[in-house]
C-alpha cells in the first residue's frame, strides 16, 4: 500500500551532501517527493511510495551517511496523494 512520509531531520545535515544522498536513496527505492534545507539548519523531506520502501527510507534518514550526523528525526505518516512524479531537491525561497 502506498503511503506518504513527512520528516524533518536535525543534526549536522547541511553542507554535508545530505540532500544529495537522500535523493539517491529515494530514487533507489522508486519514491517520489522532495528534500529541502530549512533556515534553522534542519532538512525537510516529503516522500511517497510503497510503505515498506518508505520504512527503509526512514531508516536511512535516521542514520544519514558520513559526514552527516543525525541527532533526531520527526516523522509523520499520512495517506498517499500521488502529487509527485519524481524525487527532487528543492531550494530555499
Which tens digit of pLDDT belongs to each residue from 3-36?
999 999 999 999 999 999 999 999 999 999 999 9
CATH 3.30.70.100 assigned to domain 2-90? The reply is: yes
72 is annotated as an active-site residue: no
Pick the catalytic residue: 2, 4, 12, 19? 19
Pick the catalytic residue: 2, 12, 27, 37? 37
Backbone angles phi, psi at 31, to 5 degrees: -95, 160
Instruction: Answer yes or no: are the C-beta atoms of 1 and 48 closer than 8 Å.
Output: no
Backbone angles phi, psi at 91, to 5 degrees: -115, 155
37 is annotated as an active-site residue: yes
DSSP code of 85?
A: S
> Residue 44: which H helix or E strand, with range?
strand 43-50
Q: What is the pLDDT of residues 28-73, one digit of tens each?
A: 999 999 999 999 999 999 999 999 999 999 999 999 999 999 999 9
* Nearest CA among 64, 73, 80 for reference residue 42: 73
Amino acid at each position: 500500500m502506498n503511503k506518504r512520509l513527512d520528516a524533518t531531520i536535525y543534526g549536522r545535515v547541511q553542507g554535508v551532501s545530505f540532500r544529495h544522498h537522500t535523493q539517491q536513496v529515494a530514487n533507489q527505492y522508486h519514491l517520489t517527493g522532495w528534500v529541502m534545507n530549512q533556515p534553522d539548519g534542519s532538512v525537510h523531506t516529503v516522500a511517497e511510495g510503497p510503505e515498506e520502501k518508505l520504512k527503509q527510507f526512514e531508516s536511512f534518514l535516521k542514520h544519514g551517511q558520513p559526514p552527516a550526523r543525525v541527532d533526531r528525526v520527526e516523522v509523520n505518516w499520512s495517506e498517499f496523494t500521488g502529487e509527485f512524479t519524481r524525487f527532487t531537491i528543492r531550494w530555499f525561497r
